[in-house]
Amino acid sequence: MDAFELLRRDHDKARQLLDQLRVATAAEERTRLCTQLGDELRVYEAVEAFCFLPLFHRVGEGLDAARAAHEEHLEIRRKCEALEALPANDPGFAKALGRLSDAVERHARTVQKELFPIAQRVLDERQLAEMTRSMQTQRQTRFARLKGAEAMASGRRDPRDIADARA
């Protein structure tokens, strides 16, 4: 799986979670899905911002589309935070979800239709492999941080900490 497939997979994952949210009716399920979607979008944004978008500044091509993608990240973050702030049974939930879904679709189109062709043309095999490794590492690190933060917030301890304390 290369960097393009990783980004496509992230776009698809966001769409899948948005679809699940559209049909979810139980408040607990909506809350869980909102949290999962927020986590996925935050990690995706960081991976793209640190590993993919800088390419366009280096090569001097696609700068307008790269800026648009960055602005779309900000818009998605705002809309996601607004959705997460709503009670799951709020009458405005569906409308807020629709606005977020539209922003995600717009962003996926920008990345896949405008930026992918440039990146595919300018990256050689070695550079693509390096970008892919960087994305995978960034993704793993960011999800690990999220899981650590969740564990601390809930009072759970990492089993490795407990084992270390016993030793």
Tell me 156's DSSP state: -
pTM for this model (two decimals): 0.84
Q: Which amino acid is at 66?
A: A
Instruction: Quote the longest CA-to-CA distance of the chain.
Output: 55
Range of the structural domain that residue 24 is part of: 3-166
- The stretch 28-56 carries a mean pLDDT of 94
Check: CB of residue 108 under 8 Å from CB of residue 59: no
86-129: pLDDT as tens digits: 988 899 999 999 999 999 999 999 999 999 999 999 999 999 99
Please answer whether residues 52 and 128 qualify as being in contact, where contact means their C-beta atoms are separated by less than 8 angstroms.
Answer: no
Grouping H, G, I as helix, E, B as strand and the rest as coil, residue 115 is helix
| Average pLDDT along the chain | 90
Domains: count for the chain: 1
In this structure, what CATH number is given to the domain that contains residue 112?
Answer: 1.20.120
